[in-house]
Amino acid sequence: MKMKNLLKTIAIATVFVLGIQNTTAQSLTVNQDRPETIAKQKTAELSQALGLDGTQQRYIFRALTANEVDTRKNVDGQDPNSPEVIAYKTKFAASLERAMKKTLTPEQFTAWKAMQK
């Protein structure tokens, strides 16, 4: 009888452990697609390419996060040829460019513009 209870307990513990591992793996996959994660990656790439300081990194991270959130909210899943979507894309691109121009030095901004093409 004690052996039966022990086996049941081990089986239940195994199911819980496997379930927790599966849930953790799913949440890691979802986090890779978050706007903050994407903005962080882009900021790191820009920092390396343009030699950004800490303040510039913070401002650019915020601008990229806002751009990513706005794009997901208003553009993703919509018809890309729709006049409304095209207007949103233009507006978000102009907003990002203003933030970059305000944050970067003239040399960094020129290099960033060249990277966008």
Global pTM value: 0.68
What pLDDT is attached to residue 30?
53
Closest CA to 93 of 115, 71, 111, 72: 71
Are the C-beta atoms of residues 60 and 99 closer than 8 Å to each other?
A: yes
| pLDDT tens digits for range 54-65 | 999 999 999 999
| pLDDT tens digits for range 23-44 | 555 555 556 778 889 899 999 9
Average per-residue pLDDT for the chain: 83
